[in-house]
Structure 1
Amino acid sequence: MIDPSDLLVLLAVARTRTHLAAAETLGLNHTTVARRLKALEREVGDRLLVQGSRGWELTAIGRATIVAAEGVEKALQTLPGVEEIQVGGLHGMVRVSSTEVFGLLVVIPAFASLRKIHPHIRFELVPVARSGWPYGRTEDLEIAVTRPSSTRTERRKLIEYKLGLFASSGYLQEYGTPETLSDLQKHTAIYYIESMLEVPDLDLLARLYHSSPQVLGAMSALAQLEMTRRGLGIGILPDFLAKNEPDLRQVLIPKIPDFPITYWMSARSENLRRPEVRAVAVAIESQTRLVFDTLKE
């Protein structure tokens, strides 16, 4: 006989990817989580989870079993007394990982609007500056600028933007405006720290500079924007961010090719089956259109 509470343990591990994070969610210790998963696998007669590079992954049998686990969770939510938590709509924790700028401009406003309708949804925003994550990431939705390649995630294109070269009017007056790529080689670049950059789509320095340029680096696009505004060099910046700065001028148009970058939103299928995660995803899509349409005006 399968213990329904063991199915809830499996559900927590599938969502959080680690025994420790699942234990914190359930109010257990991680050894108890591991023991109950073993017991469930004995009852099912097959492996439900395998360890992957990013944490625990469901096997084919595990994905089938998780449907039953979600049924148990849904049934528990109909018990007397639980409806009190349901007042006001959806509830539950949704964790989103996002680049810093997109998180500030889109994700936080989207969640603020959604929480007016569903005040019991809780939210965590994890800012990221690189595409690779260490073992144990636990986000429900991931927003990044590299197209997700995993076949176990659902992905959606949110918006495309372009990177351009920008400098302050004071910098250009002091150091001159580059007219060609050869002129650009004499200028200090402001961009990501090359040794820390793990997003191939953002690896642009080699395409703009013939040799290693002098680079003032920061892993924050907002920090790069501030460095550019203060006249420290020529920033390689998102056009939607820099074009709203009255003192910044875009240079080398149209002498350099466009550098289109796409924001992608992805999530594992089992997470998207949770209504609170779907609601946050829809809110982010809607807010993306609203924000970027406004920035283009």
Structure 2
Amino acid sequence: MEHNWDDLRLFLAVAREQSLSGAGRVLRLDPATLGRRVGRLEKTLGAVLFVKSPQGYALTDAGAQLLERAEAAEQAMRRATAGMEEQSDQLRGQIRIGAPDGCANYLLPQVCARIVAKNPALDVQIVALPRVFNLSRREADMAIGVSAPTAGRLIVQKITDYRLHLAAAESYLAAHDPLNSLEDLRGHRVVGYIPDMIFDRELDYLTDIGIDRVPLASNSVSVQLQMIRQGAGIGVTHDFALPQAPGVRRVMTQAVSLRRAFYLIRHADDRRNRRLRLFADALSSGLRAEVATLEAKA
């Protein structure tokens, strides 16, 4: 049976967001209207597509089968329209970026604000989550990662290196024994990631410097930095975040200096999508410039 593309688009949003409210935000539709549209689609197909519960909308077997066909139709639509995009450099429409929260909090807001200022018809959504994004499920149009994936049909390009150092609040340093060597860290309270919630080996900073206990931990680097700002302890911080943390300074920079990288990750099917390619170029160049500017102030 042929399906109306608009119905499939709504179905995909609900399947990916697993809720009417989340899909409604993506589609800019009232959840009640969206619910009626889903119900109408189920009636047309003669099949229940979702199991509704307080936890959200979960796909049934029939829904999972439709998801495969809907995603295939989506990819066909993308390929068909890739060559029909406007030839001007003005970007428009909606683009969603997934990123780890350090990048999302301290770099993407200003970089994306500049891009949108030059492209008034463009809508940019930043999804900050401490995990790897699944582009095959179209959770985002593109993602920023701290390591280069080696599996999947993806376009991966390195954006830039960035640096990290140990840092602490001036108030903490004034109240505790001086730090002259890594051995001295054993007498200090350490702030870092929750060990079993580190989603990428590249983020396991403390293991690299021989620390095995984390008295104050969070899965969010922005929460970690706020703990450090409050004088709670010492931790590894991004140099590019320090300009937004007055009263925090780097320590033992000769003993501990880490280098990591950001990678831009896109779905291979978007290779010919000129709009996404132009945005990716603007995003990458903007991030490189912003990291360089902020690290010079650290």
TM, length-normalised to structure 2: 0.70
Pairing of 1:208-223 with structure 2 (within 5 A): 208-209=209-210, 212-223=212-223
CA deviation profile, 1:184-220 (whole Å, cap 9, x unmatched): 112111112222221211112233345x424211223
CA deviation profile, 1:126-155 (whole Å, cap 9, x unmatched): 101122669955100101212222341101
**In the alignment, what sits opposite 1:102?**
103
Give the C-alpha shift of residue 32 in structure 1: 4.1
Check whether the contact 2:193–2:218 (CA below 8 A) recurs between aligned residues: yes
**In the alignment, what sits opposite 2:166?**
165
Give the alignment partner of residue 80 of structure 2, picking from 45, 61, 71: 71
After superposition, the Cα gap between the structure-2 partners of 1:57 and 1:143, relative to the gap in structure 1 and judged at 3 Å, is farther
Measured in 1, the distance between the counterparts of 2:10 and 2:271 equals: 14
Measured in 2, the distance between the counterparts of 1:191 and 1:222 equals: 11
**In the alignment, what sits opposite 1:247?**
247
**In the alignment, what sits opposite 1:226?**
226
Q: Match of 2:179, SS?
A: coil
Write the letter of the residue equivalent to 1:70. Answer: R
CA deviation profile, 1:240-280 (whole Å, cap 9, x unmatched): 22367553332233224x32111111010223533432232
Check whether the contact 1:11–1:66 (CA below 8 A) recurs between aligned residues: no
Give the C-alpha shift of residue 57 in structure 1: 7.2
**Percent of aligned positions with the same letter in both sequences?**
22
After superposition, the Cα gap between the structure-2 partners of 1:180 and 1:31, relative to the gap in structure 1 and judged at 3 Å, is farther
CA deviation profile, 1:9-56 (whole Å, cap 9, x unmatched): 7889899984979x97597538949x98xxxxxxxxxxxxxx8xxxx6
Measured in 2, the distance between the counterparts of 1:131 and 1:255 equals: 30
CA deviation profile, 1:40-91 (whole Å, cap 9, x unmatched): xxxxxxxxxxx8xxxx679xxx59x94566326877x89xxxxxxx999443
Q: Match of 1:185, SS?
A: helix
Measured in 1, the distance between the counterparts of 2:117 and 2:135 equals: 34
Check whether the contact 1:165–1:236 (CA below 8 A) recurs between aligned residues: yes
Task: Tell me whether 1:278 sits opposite 2:277 in the alignment.
Answer: yes
Q: Match of 2:107, SS?
A: helix
Task: Tell me whether 1:186 sits opposite 2:187 in the alignment.
Answer: yes
After superposition, the Cα gap between the structure-2 partners of 1:209 and 1:103, relative to the gap in structure 1 and judged at 3 Å, is same
Measured in 2, the distance between the counterparts of 1:69 and 1:168 equals: 50
After superposition, the Cα gap between the structure-2 partners of 1:29 and 1:72, relative to the gap in structure 1 and judged at 3 Å, is farther
Write the letter of the residue equivalent to 2:154. Answer: T
**In the alignment, what sits opposite 1:48?**
none
Q: How many residues were matched structurally? A: 269
After superposition, the Cα gap between the structure-2 partners of 1:12 and 1:121, relative to the gap in structure 1 and judged at 3 Å, is farther
Check whether the contact 1:95–1:125 (CA below 8 A) recurs between aligned residues: yes
Give the C-alpha shift of residue 225 in structure 1: 1.8
**In the alignment, what sits opposite 1:83?**
none
Check whether the contact 2:164–2:237 (CA below 8 A) recurs between aligned residues: yes
Measured in 2, the distance between the counterparts of 1:29 and 1:253 equals: 57
Measured in 2, the distance between the counterparts of 1:164 and 1:255 equals: 9
Q: Match of 2:168, SS?
A: strand
Measured in 1, the distance between the counterparts of 2:17 and 2:252 equals: 52
Cα RMSD of the aligned pairs, angstroms, is 4.4
**In the alignment, what sits opposite 2:236?**
236
After superposition, the Cα gap between the structure-2 partners of 1:291 and 1:214, relative to the gap in structure 1 and judged at 3 Å, is closer
Pairing of 1:3-152 with structure 2 (within 5 A): 18=16, 29=38, 32=41, 66-67=75-76, 70-71=79-80, 89-131=90-132, 136=137, 138-152=139-153
